[in-house]
Amino acid sequence: MPAIVEPDADGPYFHTGAGYDFHDRTVSRHLVHRSSVSEVLITGWQSTGPYDFLLGAQWPRLHGFYRLPGDRHHDPVLMAETVRQAALLIGHVGFGVPRGHHFALDELCYSLGPDGLDGLAITGAPAALMLRANCQDVRMRHGRLASLRVHVEVERDGRPVGRAAVQLRALSPAAYARLREPSRRAAAPWLPPACTKPQMAGREQAADVVLGPSPVPGSWLLRADVHHPVLSEPSLDHVPGMVVLEAARQAAQRLRHPDPVVPVELVSSFSGFIELDRPCLVRAVRESRIAAGAGADAPSVPVRVLLTQDDRTVAECRLLTAPADGGAAERRPGGPDRDPGLPLAC
């Protein structure tokens, strides 16, 4: 059983007594591995058991990067970033992973709740969320956390708006160096040109496009700009996992252009680090609705995205894309027993 540790002076709070406000201020940026305080989404936490945690999170009314056309709903991909930060914080404050250690992302998935996009409607106030997290498959090695899986139920105003799961590995600086050394090169990051029409990828600015032109039909080259203010982190020597999710979303949008779509469900898995100094191919294909578990008359379209580098698959994403203005039209029964459009591992 892991020991629940108190945060140090850089931690968010020293106690969670009566009247504790889960949305009063953000936690320390170091606990969620963000260099910018403005990109910290977790706003409070407490342990409710050795493997259970309650966390607060807040989304701005309009995020500078994660936003949908028309600004009627919050971007569901923001849920992925929120639970990713939650899992990192749990690793540090719940299982004692020291500051300066690394986490490797193996899986990340989410699905929306029974209200669909309507549950993520933008209102006149920031979205205050509560995350109920349960840790499973916790593995310790020599008294240190080696890996864990975090399942999260996301609520807004007491209503379920989504669920997610994250699989992480914890690595000491020495272990991380041994793992990364064979792939590290001295070359500068490689960046292909941006797509000529950002709108085809669902973006307004060329700087936010993570897909570059490729000679292979139905494929693009990954653009991982190390200077991007939201997607990049100066300390990383590889492509961040959220860049992969954004590439999958944009590739799915390219397939469905000109209709704007949103990923209401997403499953991603990572089989290796994606290096910054050489090309990575992003290929997207439509999947059959029957294979994905969606009805023949459903407005949603399943898409599979593969990322390959050095002739091997390094990441795979499966998305269920729905019309960006679908709202309640895509409602389905909620809860852990429902039959999702994709076989989520959540």
Joined together, the tokens standing for residue 142 give: 């020599």
Average pLDDT of the chain is 87
Asked if 88 and 39 count as a contact pair (C-beta separation under 8 A), the reply is no
Q: Give the list of residues 6+ apart from residue 279 with CB closer than 8 angstroms, or none.
A: 190, 192, 221, 222, 309
Closest CA to 114 of 311, 323, 339: 339
8 falls in which pLDDT band (50, 70, 90)?
Answer: very low
> Model confidence over 103-149: pLDDT tens digits?
999 999 999 999 999 999 999 999 999 999 999 999 999 999 999 99
Closest CA to 92 of 42, 57, 131, 128: 42
Helices (H), 188-235: none
> Model confidence over 203-257: pLDDT tens digits?
999 999 999 999 888 899 999 999 999 999 988 999 999 999 999 999 999 999 8
> Model confidence over 192-211: pLDDT tens digits?
887 778 999 999 999 999 99
Neighbours of 116 (CB within 10 A): 23
Tell me the pTM: 0.88
C-alpha distances in angstroms, 307 versus 56, 215, 238?
33, 15, 14
Joined together, the tokens standing for residue 225 give: 């700009």
